[in-house]
Amino acid sequence: MASKPPDISSDTLPVLEPGHTFASITDKISSIVLTGRTPLFWYISFGIGFLLVLLLLFCITAVVSVGIGLFGVMIPVAWGWAIVNFVWWIGIGHAGTLISAILLLLRQKWRQSINRFAEAMTLFAVACAGIFPLIHLGRPWFAYWLFPYPSTMGIQPQFRSPLVWDVFAVSTYFTVSLLFWFLGLIPDLATLRDRATRRVPRFIYGMLAMGWRGSAVHWHRYESAYLLLAGLATPLVVSVHTVVSFDFAVALVPGWHSTIFPPYFVAGAIYSGFAMVLTIAIPLRKLYGLEDFITLRHLKNMAIVMLATGMIVAYGYLMETFMAWYSGDIFEKYMMMNRMFGPYGWLYWVLILFNILIPQALWVRSLQTNPWVLFFIAIAVNIGMWLERYVIVVVSLHRDFLPSAWGMYSGTIFDYGVFVGTIGLFVALLFLFIRLLPMISIFEMRELVHEEEARSE
Amino acid sequence: MARLPIYGLMAEFDSPEALLEAGRRAFAEGFRRMDAYSPFPVDGLAEAIGFHRTRVPLIVLIGGLLGCIGGFYLQYWVAVIDYPINIGGRPLNSWPSFIPVTFELTILLAALAAFFGVLALNRLPMPYHPVFNVERFELASRNRFFLCIEAADTNFELERTRRFLDEIGSLGTYEVEP
């Protein structure tokens, strides 16, 4: 390869640092899992996560045994933190499928070192999300009433309701993400089976790999199935947050009843998802020395996706404000004035700062490859997206049509406990995953090595 | 079928190109019962050893159609036949409201069909397979590429096939215990 002047355009930043072979990639990634020594930071991170999981269990027990009155929800604000957190977690889940499915169909090679843990992140985020509507039911032991089954009570779910659509969308999303993730894992589980030296891990990975032996005929069918799953997951990922937005948009509450909700929710979901992938990837690549695989090129590309989806979200805010004025509807106009300058007004401006203003720094090229700056912006976007959902859910509800029915809302200690607890659950599951399964897809990295070799010849 | 003394002969290669070339030559030589093993999918390898079409897309299509039709009918049955209630004067068969769930169930069944279809076609889980008896085969999931010609092939003849595999550049030829 001819030497080029150093610049940071995406052509020169490699998706894989040179000098790697099939063997070095395999050994490096599988050694993270198969090593007998667990690093200290793993114990610390998992330990913190585990303590928070205990907090989560405590709070859930309290809320289920006493009732959701422990959450601050009351008329007019009957959807509080629980729904905010649900939408936030579901949104975060969207990046995993986007990276693994849409970028696969678009033949983006840079997806290959981040897809595995982004998919795992999706599963864990959806699992955290699923907890909230369940507790929020008030009587979670009747959750199965949401599914159509031959009930002796002779009743059935109401399929005209977006809340029932949501049940189907979220459970389908979780199932398909799990299948996609596990299908991707099978060849790597076979690698771990062959690399493991001790009996127990060899047996467990061997069972999970199901006898995968890398046959050409198997690979042929496998690739076909993988591609089809990606093709199925692509419209699915768009549909899930669309359905979540229907929960709001189909209602008549000012600030909810809006046709821009579906696209703006999907963009917001991808935005927050990429922010979370960056939040996780930046420390992990450092801690595990994976800078060769998760290169600056990945960080830069994710930063650009974040900037692009962030601009769509900004357009959504702009249009909501414009339509409130243009509609001439006094309730819509009041909703927007109240959102900006009412008792919760400061939240709106913090949200604009975190979601719209701070990420504009990503226009500066040198900042796109600065891990510290990216980490900071990703955290800001995570917080900003949470505030966005809070503003949509709580601020719209607290003052709707009749001033006599207005009220104020704030979360309670149990709201904080459950929310922080799910973050703990997410961290704990993520670290378990990193310890027990290859966090980077080994066989796809071998493919990448092969392609890079073919290209340089 | 009589039990053969060995399952086949396995040849080792160190690059996907070498394996692809070996597969092509073995197919040209008239071998049909063989399989190639690689640590990652190699373009054209399945075709080189004579495997051309896969039924995975058909299975996925059937799964998707079942999900679509079954999903819509489920809602129709619930809303019109089993539990008809009047919601704001809307028709009992208010089909536009049934589309989101129909769509989700289409995807769900298609995805389940893809996942279980590929496992079933590949005959997985398979706890035992003779190729694992070759010690070097554990490198098939690392950096080595293997071609195994089965003894069940009509052209198979131990010494001649071994010579053939050595000729086409095998780095090591191993007998595979059944």
DSSP structure string for B156-176 = --HHHHHHHHHHTT-S-EEEE
Residue A20 predicted with pLDDT over 90: no
Asked if residue B41 and residue B87 are part of one domain, the reply reads: no
Instruction: Judge if B43 and B73 occupy the same domain.
Output: no
Q: Is residue B143 part of a domain?
A: yes
Return the percentage of chain A with pLDDT > 90, whole number.
Answer: 77
In a domain, B1, yes or no: no
In a domain, B3, yes or no: no
Which pLDDT belongs to residue A185? Answer: 94
CB contact under 8 A, B79 and A211: no
Host domain of residue B140: 8-53+126-176
**Chain B residue with the nearest C-alpha to that of A169:** B104
Residue of chain B minimizing CA distance to A225 = B114
Question: Residues B27, B115: one domain?
Answer: no
Mean pLDDT of A320-344: 94
Q: Which residue has the tokens 């009047």?
A: B86
Q: Residue A99 — very low, low, confident or very high, per pLDDT cuts 50/70/90? A: confident
Smallest CA-to-CA distance from B36 within B124, B178, B165, B167 is with B165
The confidence score (pLDDT) of residue A46 equals: 96
Same domain assignment for residues B133 and B168: yes
Asked if residue B43 belongs to a domain, the reply is: yes
Residue B16 touches chain A, beta carbons under 8 Å: yes
pLDDT band at A7 (very low <50, low <70, confident <90, very high): very low
B101/A224 touch (CB, cutoff 8 Å), yes or no? no
Same domain as B46, residue B64: no
Give the pLDDT confidence score for residue A104 in this predicted structure.
87
Q: Chain B residues with CB inside 8 Å of A239's CB?
A: 100, 103-104, 107
Confidence of residue A106 (pLDDT cuts 50, 70, 90): confident
Token reading at B177: 């215990």
Residue B155 within any structural domain of the chain: yes
Whether chain A has a CB inside 8 Å of the CB on B65: the answer is no
| Tens of pLDDT, residues A293-314 | 899 999 999 999 999 999 999 9
Separation between Cα atoms, residue B107 and residue A306, nearest integer Å: 27
Residues 6+ apart with CB under 8 A from A297: A10, A13, A14, A15, A110
Above 50 in pLDDT, residue A1?
A: no
Residue of A nearest to B45 (CA): A216
Predicted model pTM:
0.93
Whether residue B2 lies inside any domain: the answer is no
Compute chain B's Rg from CA coordinates: 25
Nearest residue in chain B measured CA to CA from A241: B100
Residue B48 and residue B72 in one domain: no
- A439 and A433 in contact (C-beta within 8 Å)? yes
Domain count for chain B: 2
Q: Which CATH architecture has domain A37-448?
A: Up-down Bundle (1.20)
Cβ contact A49:A428 at 8 Å: yes
CA gap A16, A293 in Å, rounded: 5
**Does residue B63 sit in the same domain as residue B117?**
yes
Rounded to 5°, angle at Cα A387 from A280 and A59 = 75
Determine the distance in angstroms separating the CA of B12 from the nearest CA of chain A, rounded to an integer.
14
Same domain for B171 and B130? yes
pLDDT at A160: 92
Domain residue extents for chain A? 37-448
Residue B4: predicted pLDDT: 63
Q: Is B66 on the interface with A (CB under 8 A)?
A: no
Is the residue at B107 inside a domain?
A: yes
Provide, as residue numbers in chain B, all residues whose Cβ is less than 8 Å from the Cβ of A224: 54, 56-57, 118
* Contact: A160, B126; criterion CB under 8 Å: no
In this predicted model, what pLDDT tens digit does every residue of B55-108 receive, in sequence order? Answer: 999 999 999 999 999 999 999 999 999 999 998 888 999 999 999 999 999 999
- Name the token pair of A76: 């007019």
